[in-house]
Structure 1
């Protein structure tokens, strides 16, 4: 686990609880060192402070995604504004934790993100132009592979496993993110918008006005 945090007390607290939960932890304090560490160490996930000196966490995440690196990223920030949360998710972050945070909740969030990356079935699902392989965690549109974040994949997989079924946003938060109360439903909307942009048009995701989303053949 890579922890990128320039506040020593927070880095030490996160490290303590992550190690208690069985993680090996490496700490960096600036963005440039964080990028180098991701490439060198291949961590299972990155706990990334947004307010880093020099190259901030947003720039680090943007650089990783631009390079095709989809290592799970959890943003940590003192900002609690929805605009900031949405920006982080749009950049490809997998979760968003606001300071001050409970270290136990932090570890639980890390575990939830990592569980999303664990294959649960060997089934291949096809809806219209989209084929999804849950065993290999790969997605194709018209035989061209599409790169998705861990969260985007799990959201699409959940919808495609239940074609035609309509899920409320709160149900998707619970099923995909593992919690409902700690995140706003805007989180779901952002990820759906990102999926649609990556899958192109037509795509299987349907908006059911006033309710939520479903997946149906185009």
Structure 2
């Protein structure tokens, strides 16, 4: 069952807690983020909803949550107050993942959006971490220290396999099969080589000290820099 965490400012105590928005969709509604995180510690959510507060405040809460790794890949629905002048787009808004709507939290339009976004959510997804590199497999973003690299879907799939087994030489055939579930024939191995070349170029342009080593006749190995 998809699960949603909704932080709705000024929600009366009697209306806080778990509610069933629609059959098969559970929503935890709380007015305070810190209290919600304590109550829901360890629980995974498919969607974060913020409502009943200005857009700037919503952005502040998301920045705090993004300090916790598992929240960085959770989509956010920003529900802005209808009376707020102009359209404040929080700096944390990710157009490829999040949505913004100007409405009341309990309106039918918001309920439909919550249901749609939650069912496409990411409760079981995990950021992939190797050394100081962190890959968001949903958004196709590789973060290394303060640098962020944008990857294509196929590049993300390949790099995810290499990062999960950093330091191990992964055969060409295994990379193709695990990367995009394709037969490891000559054509797909050539496609793999082109994607590896593109990933290397992006790493070099970003000044990232992560190497994709070719083991001749065998496969590729992701090599992380030695700790200083």
Q: How would you bin the TM-score normalised by the shorter chain? A: 0.3 to 0.5
Higher strand share: 2
TM-score, with structure 2 as normaliser = 0.44
TM-score, with structure 1 as normaliser = 0.45
Computing the radius of gyration over CA atoms, which structure comes out larger, 1 or 2? 2
